[in-house]
Amino acid sequence: MIGKLYRGGRKFVYEIDRLTRFSVKMVLSCFGRPIYLSETMEQMYLIGIGSLFLVVLTGIFAGQAMALQFSNELADFGSKNYLGRIMSLAILRELGPILTGLMVAARVAAGITAEIGSMKSSNQLDALLAFGVDPIRKLAAPRLLALVVMVPVLTIICDVIAIVGGWIIAIFLAHITSTTYLSAVNERLTFGNVFMGVLKPVVFALIIAFISCYKGFTTRGGTKGVGQSTTESVMISSISILIINFVLTKVVFSYLKGYL
């Protein structure tokens, strides 16, 4: 039992070490030449436009459901006018980044790992090396850059859509005036909240990029291995996002409380 735990622990530390080294390599690959601009633009399109529908759909229904829950609860205290404030806080700080992060992790991380993993198992990565091309620079760096740009953009879209979803509930079901709801939303659009709402998706983008590319590059065992890596990639990215979200929230509360 203890031996098993020791081996498991050792393997975990080994994997973390490899992931860290790989992530550093990925970041360094974003600088210097050659720059794969067309690949980066293509990935931005695939990640951004490809995930847009999913993010919009998630944002609108999650926003509406939250607004419905909050408005009922706030009505008991006669504080329905605060709906906009609570919606703004919850969406900017938590719901927008988390939902977008998880949606992108599910959709994009799976795609990245499966694509790179298939290339690995059919020797295409070795072929790139044989042709004097660094596969990390060619495949991983454009995906990292695209995710770092597109996840915050998608999060902002998700935030706006969720707030609009709340607005629909506020107007038609909670019977709050549009001005009351929107001015309450505006009140909580402070630097701290917006900063937290943008910082989180950037960190989530890094997590998704590092884990999905690492899992793709370390795929072994043919088609079955690709499937396994893809599943692990989505699972680890999603769990990491939830854990890091808590850590970030704690850090921001500790150091930026005055701005919130």
Partner 1 sequence: MIRFENVNFGYDERQVLHDVSFHIKPGESRIFLGPSGSGKSTILRLILGLDCPWSGQIYIDGENICGQKLKKLQQIRKRIGMVFQDGALFDSMTIGENVGYYLFEHTNMQEDEIEHEARRMLEFVDLDPDILDKLPEELSGGMRRRVAIARALLSTRPKIMLFDEPTTGLDPQSTQNVMNLIMKLRQEENIAVIIVTHQIADALKLADKFVVIQNGLVRFDGDMEELRTSTQPEVQGFLTPFRESINEVVKRDFV
Binding site residues, partner 1, CB under 8 A: 118-119, 122-124, 126-127, 129-134
Residue 195: which of 97, 103, 104, 87 has the closest Cα? Answer: 97
Q: Which is nearer to partner 1, 49 or 129 (CB)?
A: 129
Residue 201 makes CB contacts below 8 A (sequence gap 6+) with 97, 100, 101, 151, 152, 154, 155
| DSSP characters over 92-127 | IIIIHHHHHHHHHIIIIIHHHHHHHHHHHHTTHHHH
Provide, rounded to whole angstroms, the least separation between the CB of residue 235 and partner 1: 23
Record the tokens describing residue 258, joined without a space. Answer: 């005055």
Smallest distance from partner 1 to CB 25, Å: 10
The residue (of 49 and 127) whose beta carbon lies closer to partner 1 is 127
Cβ proximity to partner 1, 94 vs 134, nearer residue: 134
> Which of 90, 134, 88, 112 has its CA nearest to residue 205?
112
71, 170 in Cβ contact below 8 A?
yes
Supply the angle between the helices 191-217 and 141-172 in degrees, to the nearest 10. Answer: 140
| Min separation Cβ 115 and partner 1, Å | 8
Distance between alpha carbon 93 and the CA centroid of its chain, in Å? 13
Shortest distance (Å) from residue 124 CB to partner 1: 5
Q: Give min distance, CB of 185 to partner 1, in A.
A: 44
Q: Which CB atom, from 126 or from 187, has the smaller least distance to partner 1?
A: 126
Minimum CB distance to partner 1 smaller for 22 or for 204? 22
- DSSP single-letter state for residue 138: I
Dihedral Cα 12, 209, 236, 217, nearest 10 deg? -60
Which is closer to partner 1, CB of 73 or CB of 126? Answer: 126
Phi, psi of 136 (to 5 degrees): -70, -45
Shortest separation between residue 223's beta carbon and partner 1, angstroms: 14
Contact 89, 160 (CB under 8 A): no
**Based on CB atoms, which residue is closest to partner 1, 5 or 130?**
130
Question: Minimum distance between the CB of residue 130 and partner 1, rounded to whole angstroms?
Answer: 4
